[in-house]
Structure 1
Amino acid sequence: MYAYWETVPTRWKDNDVYGHVNNAVHYSLMDTVINTWLIRTAGLDIHGGDAIGLCVESHCVYRASVAFPEALRIGLRIGRLGRSSVRYELGLFREDGETVVAEGHFVHVFVDRETRRPAEIPGPLREAMEKLLISG
């Protein structure tokens, strides 16, 4: 279902006054996993590359509560890969890998760093993305 996985710890400050991880943290965790994969695995040069990815859409559906000090297993896949855009899909699970905590997606549009006009996803980055692309 998901082709790339990371385990991410929650932090003390992630809990809100209701005693669970605040909803905004879920977005931060998803964004972190996506960008960690882009930089470490796909080779995105965030400081000097010609193309950069801008988030144009994000969404999260919450399924279960989680609280510090739990860690989350976060799965990443690509649901759609266009010429200049990509839809990342993520599942956030309890550390057991079975219980879904949340599901979400982010859409990046790649643009030229200088002009901010849409740009084709560079070849090596596209090749890495194709490995995470789900069929159907």
Structure 2
Amino acid sequence: MKRGDARPYDAYKHFAPIQTRWMDNDVYGHVNNVVYYSYFDTLVNEYLINAGVLDIHSGDTIGLVVETSCNYFAPIEFPQTIKGAIGVSKVGTSSVRYEIGLFDGAEQPVAAGHFIHVYVDRKTRKSKQLSSDSIKTLEGIKFD
């Protein structure tokens, strides 16, 4: 994927600031590629927790990451605040495909990727249907 092929900033419906940390930089002076996945995970879970549809401590349902990818277009580094953006491209019976963009003030992202959660019963780890509240929350950030 080329930077110009990625979803632009205004395609997303939910945004959150991300402050890079000193430990995010690698020996080459920019945020290491593995850290981007941590940003993705934080963005998605923070959205779900704040929307009241994910209880990470005692909820019966949890989301397991089964697939993720990232395309890198421009470096970011500490100290820098970027904006994370998430949207939903597909809602299944028990799974969701999130699209994530990381932005440094430009219309096109510095990185873009996706993240698929499969929702399961916390104890049995068997697939569990999304609740109506979850579906409503996810539909709120679904791409047109």
TM over 0.5: yes
Distance in 1 of aligned mates of 2:59 and 2:85: 26
1:41 to 51, 55, 76: 51
- What residue in structure 2 maps to residue 115 of structure 1? 124
Deviations 1:21-75 (A, max 9, x none): 1001111011101010010124311122221110000000000011111111111
Cα deviation for residue 97 of structure 1 reads: 4.4
Higher strand fraction (1 or 2): 1
Q: Which amino acid aligns with 2:97?
A: R
Contact 1:58 1:104 in 2 (8 A): yes
- Listed as ranges, the matches of 1:64-83 within 5 Å are 64-83=74-93
* Structure 1 spans left out of the alignment, 5+ residues: none
Asked if the contact 1:8–1:74 (Cα under 8 Å) also holds between the matched residues in 2, the reply is: yes
Aligned to 1:103: 112
With normalisation by structure 1, the TM-score equals: 0.94
Q: Count residues with an aligned counterpart.
A: 134
Stretches of structure 2 that go unaligned for 5 or more consecutive residues are 1-10
Distance of 1:60 and 1:49 partners within structure 2: 29
Aligned residue among 15, 18, 28 for 2:38: 28
Which of 97, 118, 131 is the matching residue for 2:140? 131
Partner amino acid for 2:18? V
Counterpart Cα distance in 2 of 1:52 and 1:132: 20
Q: Is the 8 A contact 1:42 1:128 kept in 2?
A: no
Conservation of the 8 A alpha-carbon contact between 1:41 and 1:128: yes
What are the Cα deviations for residues 75-125 of structure 1, in whole angstroms up to 9, with x where unaligned?
Answer: 10001000000001000011x243521001100000111111111011211
Moved over 3 A (4+): none
Q: Do structure 1's residue 9 and structure 2's residue 11 form an aligned pair?
A: no
The 2-side partners of 1:37 and 1:123 are apart by 17
Q: 2: CA distance between counterparts of 1:42 and 1:89?
A: 20
> In 2, are the aligned partners of 1:42 and 1:129 still within 8 Å (CA)?
no
* 2:29 partner letter: G
